[in-house]
Amino acid sequence: MSEPIRTVIADDEPLARRQLRTLLERDPQIALLGEAGSGAEARRAVRELNPELLLLDVRMPQGDGFSVIEDLENPPYVIFATAHSEHAVHAFDVAAVDYLLKPFDDERFERAVQRAKDAIRAKRIMQLAQEIATHESVQATSVSPDPQRITVHEGRRIIMLNTADVDWIEAADYYAQVHVHGHTHLVREPLQNLEARLGKTFMRVHRRALVNVARIQRLDRLEDGELVVVLNNGTRVPVSRSRRASVLRDLGVR
């Protein structure tokens, strides 16, 4: 995930909002835009801030959580966080990503947020692909044979990306997402082709991910034995088990 997910919290209890805020602030992929303490404030925040993710209580003054998202043409992804279990069925009827029953632990919260991240990532990929497909130049979208540059056609613009500026590249079906300084560019070329052309300046750490070796800040070993590459901008890219040994070897780690 490149650009942080625009997020809003809506809960009428200050303590609950503080708990959610503390958990979200640990995640560099989340950008907390604002908070709301009532249904009316939540509706206003969604309208003005246009969040991608909304953490939402059910029972609030001036309108419950369901009234916040009803009749929205482009509603955000919603994680309900509530002490009331009886509304779970209704929550999933309105396509909620998850339903957290208070009190919940950090691990349960992280699973819910990860589910939202996956959904938002898929939506972003689809939007990027549709945007390119609406322009006649989509057929001309290509990558320069120069290994130092990636050429991207976006509408009427031709963008020349220096590969040294690229943080990482992520597979997206028949495309590749090129992440540069917090922005994402969609290129019609398989990840395998990019890997072969870019050479050793990029490292395959996962079936779906290449990282710029110069952008690697550190490696984190998790308690379950998994390995994660952390880039200079805070992006965390998991290393697959099958590639763990080669990544450690190529980085000179013993």
pLDDT at position 137 is 45
* Rounded average pLDDT over 87-91: 87
The values of phi and psi at residue 30, to 5°, are: -115, 130
Strand partners, 99: 80
Domain definitions of the chain by residue range: 5-129, 137-250
Homologous superfamily in CATH for domain 5-129: Response regulator (3.40.50.2300)
Label residue 90 exposed, middle or buried (CB < 10 Å: 0-12, 13-18, 19+): middle
- What's the CA angle centered on 80, arms 83 and 17, to 5 degrees? 70
With CA atoms as reference, report the closest residue to 186 among 195, 194, 197, 175.
Answer: 175
**Is 226 within 8 Å of 238 (Cβ atoms)?**
yes
Residue 38 CA to residue 78 CA, distance in Å, equals 16
CATH code of 137-250, in short, is: 2.40.50.1020
pLDDT at position 58 is 93
pLDDT at position 135 is 47
What would the pLDDT profile of 109-163 be if each residue is shown by its tens digit?
999 999 999 899 888 887 777 665 554 444 444 444 566 788 787 767 778 889 8
